[in-house]
Chain A
């Protein structure tokens, strides 16, 4: 078992899902509550990674992060090196790749809230921020946990984007899925099987948590 790759994958998934949550909360809030008619455009952009081949996404990420791309140049200017084939580059590409998995559960749970609760909160003098943290967020826990768990799991399992943007540098960009690919290429089926089995188990646990969450078995006050 390649613990270096495993550790890297978990670190990547943890960093990505933490940052994604910060980005996805305001984005989902806006998408759930705006009355702007053109919001479907932004919704489509957010959902793009669901349908695009990871190689297409990875290709554009590589271009954008490279020394000639806008993000790459900015990074070069700020830190003196480019983003391609680095952990930071991997994080940025993964943020885009897993964005819909964080945003969509949040939108769904924000939209399912009783609007009258939000009305009641503002009638009682609460600002939007207070309403968000005191009412919307606590009542959307299943959605938040679903978002975190799904973006974690999805990042853990990504392959195409990592390969395009990160390459295969041990300890920096060689994640579990790439390691499995390498083992199979090297005909080391036993090692590949160990890692694959582990990912399978993790994926199952993750999905069980998500589905259990949406049955609302752990939050009695949400059970109707």
Chain B
């Protein structure tokens, strides 16, 4: 168990002061640190690893102190037995893959060092690259080397700062597979920073959402990211639609309430919340959770059907982003196939279909 209870104040010229204030326990297994950039995720990892010294508080690993401000004690980073993969990876450019991987093993007798390197290289599929320098590796290969270099030391704590950013989905899945296998064999706390929802779903046993230096929420990925309770978190979690509204009436018997959108002459039925009628709220809806129809749909289980006009269509990677004006402006994600078969063009009259439970109340 890793216990962190720290505060660190940053004052830099030209930017508002930033306070990191975290109190959290990390159990063995994956914990995803999630939050917008600038939320303090990397700073938190720097404090845990010993690269930065907090102003106040304690960091404890299984009862052993890493840091204790009251005693002015800080265990040097090199003695914390922590593995830390930076976003930049920081492979040593003048050393070969093999030398990079063996770097953290200098205290071991050479036989054991050799043995450990021989074991980890195949586990991360980098045996064939052993004589290469980091400059001769692809992005995915570098990421594997960085992971192997940190895991070969048999750390008691693993910190991963967006280690898979910039890789394509297939490669990311393959490396995540390796990481999961490694985790199953060595249960230690792994703190994993990512913005990527896919990675969260693939590895997250638990998510800690960090906003503006503080832990906003923690729990399962579903609880934290699918029903965000703050606007900053909703934005970070990729809710493309955030609509201002106020509560019209509550229907506890049905477990729903009706809200009126501020900018539009329409109402939505959303899950019941502890918000009194008349109160202002925001409603968060994922662009991928909205259905689009070119005829008025009938006999549907979905409770919210809004007529509107298709304004723009913009291809983005493997999906098409549509903007629909239904009084309020909605972002809708479509597949290129759907755009073709429905013969969607800007100006077309369309209907938006929203399930009650795709709408989430976010408090301002």
Question: How near does chain B come to A16, taking the closest CB pair, in angstroms?
Answer: 29
A192 to B353, CA, bound (A): 95
Residue B149 interfacial (CB < 8 Å): yes
- Per-position contact with A for B82-98: 1 when CB-CB < 8 Å, else 0? 11101010101110000
Report whether B83 and A123 are in contact in the complex, using a CB–CB cutoff of 8 Å.
Answer: yes
Segment at the B interface, from A23-31, A50-58, A124-132, A195-203: A124-132
Question: How near does chain A come to B363, taking the closest CB pair, in angstroms?
Answer: 38
- Tell which of B81, B83, B90 touches A119, judged by Cβ atoms closer than 8 Å: B90
A28 to B257, CA, bound (A): 68
Residue B76 interfacial (CB < 8 Å): yes
Known contacts A114-B90, A139-B93, A139-B94; is-contact A123 B133 (Cβ 8 Å): no
A117 to B89, CA, bound (A): 9
Binding site for B on A (CB under 8 A): 114, 116-117, 119-127, 130, 134-135, 138-139, 220-222
**Complex A-B: 14 CB contacts under 8 Å:** A114-B88, A119-B77, A119-B90, A122-B51, A123-B49, A123-B77, A124-B103, A124-B149, A125-B79, A125-B107, A126-B78, A126-B104, A127-B78, A139-B94
Most chain A CB neighbours (cut-off 10 Å) among B78, B104, B133: B78
Residues on the B chain within 8 Å of A221, using CB: 93-94, 133, 135
Q: Which residue of B lies closest to A123 (CB)?
A: B84
- Tell which of A116, A122, A134 touches B88, judged by Cβ atoms closer than 8 Å: A116
Residues on the A chain within 8 Å of B103, using CB: 121, 124, 126, 134
Report whether B94 and A123 are in contact in the complex, using a CB–CB cutoff of 8 Å.
Answer: no
Residues on the B chain within 8 Å of A124, using CB: 78, 103-104, 149-150, 153
Residues on the B chain within 8 Å of A119, using CB: 51, 77, 84, 86, 90
A139 to B92, CA, bound (A): 9
Report whether B90 and A120 are in contact in the complex, using a CB–CB cutoff of 8 Å.
Answer: yes
Q: Which residue of B lies closest to A138 (CB)?
A: B94
A-B CB proximity, top 4 nearest: A124-B104, A120-B90, A116-B90, A122-B77
A116 to B78, CA, bound (A): 14
- Tell which of B50, B88, B93, B106 touches A126, judged by Cβ atoms closer than 8 Å: B106
A124 to B153, CA, bound (A): 8
Report whether B77 and A117 are in contact in the complex, using a CB–CB cutoff of 8 Å.
Answer: no
- Tell which of A122, A135, A138 touches B76, judged by Cβ atoms closer than 8 Å: A122
A126 to B50, CA, bound (A): 13
A27 to B53, CA, bound (A): 26
Report whether A117 and B92 are in contact in the complex, using a CB–CB cutoff of 8 Å.
Answer: yes
Question: How near does chain A come to B212, taking the closest CB pair, in angstroms?
Answer: 25
Question: How near does chain B come to A168, taking the closest CB pair, in angstroms?
Answer: 47
Question: How near does chain B come to A140, taking the closest CB pair, in angstroms?
Answer: 10
Q: Which residue of B lies closest to A114 (CB)?
A: B90
Question: How near does chain B come to A30, taking the closest CB pair, in angstroms?
Answer: 19
Other A-B pairs beyond A120-B92, A122-B76, A122-B77, 14, CB < 8 Å: A119-B51, A120-B86, A120-B90, A121-B103, A122-B78, A123-B49, A123-B84, A123-B150, A124-B78, A125-B78, A125-B153, A126-B103, A130-B106, A134-B103
Report whether A123 and B78 are in contact in the complex, using a CB–CB cutoff of 8 Å.
Answer: yes
Report whether A116 and B92 are in contact in the complex, using a CB–CB cutoff of 8 Å.
Answer: no
Residues on the A chain within 8 Å of B82, using CB: 123
Chain B residues 128-164 with CB under 8 Å of chain A are 133, 135, 149-150, 153
Most chain B CB neighbours (cut-off 10 Å) among A117, A125, A138: A125
Residues on the B chain within 8 Å of A127, using CB: 78
Report whether B78 and A135 are in contact in the complex, using a CB–CB cutoff of 8 Å.
Answer: no
A114 to B134, CA, bound (A): 15
Residues on the B chain within 8 Å of A222, using CB: 93
A111 to B153, CA, bound (A): 29
Report whether B92 and A135 are in contact in the complex, using a CB–CB cutoff of 8 Å.
Answer: yes
Known contacts A116-B88, A130-B106; is-contact A123 B51 (Cβ 8 Å): yes
Residues on the B chain within 8 Å of A138, using CB: 94
Question: How near does chain A come to B254, taking the closest CB pair, in angstroms?
Answer: 55
Report whether B104 and A125 are in contact in the complex, using a CB–CB cutoff of 8 Å.
Answer: yes
